[in-house]
Structures are given as structure tokens and as C-alpha cells.
Amino acid sequence: MPAISPYEMLEPCVWRSLLARAAVFHATRRMLGHLCDLAEQVKAVEMVLDQLQIRAQEVSDEDDDATAIARVVSAWDEDLSRVLELKKVESDVLRLLAEVRASLDHVCGADPFRAMFDAVEREARALYGTAWRPVVLSLAHIRSHPRDAHPTVDPYAVTATTVWSECPDRDEAQVELQIFGERFGPAAYAAVPMLFTHECVCHVPARQDRVRNDSAFAEGLLDWAAYHFLALWAVKLDRELGPTTRKHAERLKGVLTARHTTRDGAARQVGHDAAGNLAAWFESECVMSADESFHRVARLAVELNMVDRPLVDKENLVSLLYSPPPKVEQDLHSWVQGTMTTEQLLDAAASGVT
Ligand SMILES: [Zn+2]
């Protein structure tokens, strides 16, 4: 049977190389967080994960999905068995690798990217309700690390983008997950739920005139909300991967927020700081618990995303949230009490009355 790819932008052999690794990571997901940590400290673990990369890149153009996965699993199983014979590797490391090896019996041919995207979409759709926009998933291969970073500093060799349909009678979005195949390891796999959550919370349902990747609203305040929702959803998305999803979302946030000299990094920092200050304002001025104040900030971000207004108005409000002037404080109190809608809050800020 001729090999095909379910994703238009992926060559069949690239798809199968990614699928084989994702299938292994999915089957071993309960141990994945521990495996990532040990890979940074134990040479034998780093080596055996490198071997998996090499095995996956050896898949043939002719193989179908099941055959390609079976070949990679069988070859990697042999690699693991040789590491398990090493005498100088500590016993707890060997125990983990033996557990990983036993989990290979559960590797299946289902597409883990699709399953994860469907799970994130289900949660985001429930969050946005009728404002949700139909969305399709696409996968693409990129030829370098998205931030040109060294894997020890930034192992997240994946990124994602969302585009909206240009056809006026088709209100649809497309999320594209872009993977640098040469460095698609367990940490990158563990970050995929966060990337999908960012796209689904920040961009898929957005109602505004344009896209800017250095927007303190779309890439800042909303990004903060996306991390908030990912932390809430992680276990619902996948019980076994949940703790690792949370851990790597936080690590990815650390990597991305450290890039404050870039325009998108600066926008992220401005939006995250505004969210943090607004949460503190809710907590002190509206006598909310920390949890409630975080949830209110995330709720405000999501509601602003649903309001069809120019992006510049939303960015203006973000700039005011950093240290709200008296009129904005008064409006925020009205918003919390339900006597002012999110549209009114936004319009009052945009009109300059504040
Ligand atoms: Zn974004």
C-alpha cells in the first residue's frame, strides 16, 4: 500500500518519523517527565533518547503507519535492552528505563497529535460557547529550531500558528503545529498541549481586525489566561500526561518570558505583568481569594477576545490594567458587580473618558 500522510504539509516519511516518536511518547507518557529530567543528568538516558530520534528518522518511504511504528519500536527496544545491561548505571535509572521498555507493548498507531488537539478544542469550545469558531488542525515540518536555541537551554523544538479563513462565508480557523523533526524529543512532545491551548484560547475564536505577534493583548494578557486554563485542564486533557503537561508548560513559559528583548517577548511580559497586577488589584480591592482573582483576570481576557473591536482598543485597555487610573478602577468594580459589560468596559477605556 503506498504510504500517505494525513497532513497535507507533511511528506509521508516525515509524518511517520514524527508519528513513531509521538506514539512512543504517548505510550510512555506517565514516565515522560521523569525521563526528561534524567536525560539532563544521566548520559545513558540522553543516549537512548538520541537513539530513538535516529531510529525514527530511519523510517522508510514505503512503510505504512503501523509498519513504521513497529520498526521503530522494535529497534528502540533493542537499544533499551543494551542500556539495561550496563553495569555502571544507577539502579533507579535502570528501573525507569525497564518501565519505559515494558510500556512499549502499549504503543498504538492512533494519531496522538489529533487526540490531544481534539481534547484541547473540547475544553476551549466549552469556554467560548457560541463564540467558538470551527477549526482544523494541520502539522508541518520546520527545518530549524523555532528560536534557534540549544536543546539543553530550550528543548521545545515546536511552535504553532493560527490563520483564519479569508473566505467571507467560511468562518473557520486553521491551527498549524510546526515541528523541527531533528529535535522532536519528549520535552517538545510534553509542550504540545500548551501550544494547542495557546492557539485555542488566544487565536482561534478571536474577534478583532488583525493579528500581531507582538500584541500585549493577544500574546500577553490572553497568553497568561491560556497558561491559567492549561493548568486547570491538564489532567482532563490526559490523566497520565497531566502532571508533565503542567511542568513543561511552566518551563516553556520560563523560556519564552526570558526572551524579553524580542518584540513578541516584550509584549508577553507586558501582558503577563498587567495580568499579575490586575489579579492583585482584584484580590485587594474586591476582597477576592487568589484563585478567584486569577480566574477573573482569565475570564476578562476571554471576554475581551470575544468582543469584535479593533486590536488597538484591547491593547489600550491592557496598558491601563498595569496600574488602573481611578475611572478604570471604578469601571472594573462595575464589571465585577455585573453592572457594566465587557464591551462597555472596553469602549469606556477606548473613548479616552478614562
Ligand atoms: Zn500566539
How many Å apart are CA 198 and CA 133, to the nearest integer?
A: 15
Instruction: Give residue 208's pLDDT band: very low, low, confident or very high (50, 70, 90).
Output: confident
pLDDT at 171: 83
Distance 286 CA to ligand 1 centre (A): 30
**Largest pairwise CA distance in the chain:** 73
Instruction: Give residue 123's pLDDT band: very low, low, confident or very high (50, 70, 90).
Output: very high
Distance 268 CA to ligand 1 centre (A): 10
pLDDT at 354: 43
Q: Which of 112-116, 143-147, 342-346 has the lowest mean pLDDT?
A: 143-147
Distance 107 CA to ligand 1 centre (A): 32
Distance 161 CA to ligand 1 centre (A): 7
pLDDT at 3: 67
- pTM (whole model) above 0.85: yes
- Does 354 or 97 have the greater pLDDT score? 97
Distance 214 CA to ligand 1 centre (A): 9
- Does 165 or 28 have the greater pLDDT score? 28
Distance 147 CA to ligand 1 centre (A): 15
pLDDT over 70, % of the chain = 99
Q: Which of 174-183, 210-219, 275-284, 330-339 has the lowest mean pLDDT?
A: 210-219
172 Cβ contact list (under 8 Å, min separation 6): 133, 134, 135, 136, 164, 165
Q: Where are the domains of the chain?
A: 12-106, 117-127+185-354
Q: CA-based angle 260:220:305, to the nearest 5?
A: 165
Distance 218 CA to ligand 1 centre (A): 7
- Does 164 or 72 have the greater pLDDT score? 72
Distance 198 CA to ligand 1 centre (A): 6
Distance 282 CA to ligand 1 centre (A): 26
pLDDT (average), residues 181-198:
96
Distance 76 CA to ligand 1 centre (A): 35
Distance 60 CA to ligand 1 centre (A): 35
Nearest Cα neighbor of 118 from 100, 136, 132 is: 136
Distance 157 CA to ligand 1 centre (A): 16
pLDDT tens digit sequence for 278-316 = 999 999 999 999 999 999 999 999 999 999 999 999 999
pLDDT of residue 269 exceeding 60: yes
pLDDT at 353: 46
Distance 222 CA to ligand 1 centre (A): 9
Q: 316-333 burial by CB neighbour count: b if 16+ within 10 A, else e?
A: bbbebbeebeeebeebbe
DSSP string, 141-192: EESS-TT---TTT----EEEEEEE-SSTT---EEEEEEEEGGG--HHHHHHH
Distance 190 CA to ligand 1 centre (A): 18
Average pLDDT, the chain: 93
How many Å apart are CA 148 and CA 180, to the nearest integer?
A: 11
Instruction: Give residue 322's pLDDT band: very low, low, confident or very high (50, 70, 90).
Output: confident
Tell me whether residue 82 is exposed, middle or buried, using C-beta atoms within 10 angstroms of its C-beta: 0 to 12, 13 to 18, 19 or more: exposed
Instruction: Give residue 165's pLDDT band: very low, low, confident or very high (50, 70, 90).
Output: confident
Distance 267 CA to ligand 1 centre (A): 11
pLDDT tens digit sequence for 37-91 = 999 999 999 999 999 999 999 988 788 999 999 999 999 999 999 999 998 889 9
DSSP string, 36-88: HHHHHH-HHHHHHHHHHHHHHHT--TT--HHHHHHHHHHHHHHHHHHHHT-SS
Distance 264 CA to ligand 1 centre (A): 9
Distance 320 CA to ligand 1 centre (A): 21
Instruction: Give residue 106's pLDDT band: very low, low, confident or very high (50, 70, 90).
Output: very high
Distance 35 CA to ligand 1 centre (A): 29
pLDDT at 262: 85
Distance 289 CA to ligand 1 centre (A): 29
Distance 36 CA to ligand 1 centre (A): 26
pLDDT (average), residues 319-336:
93
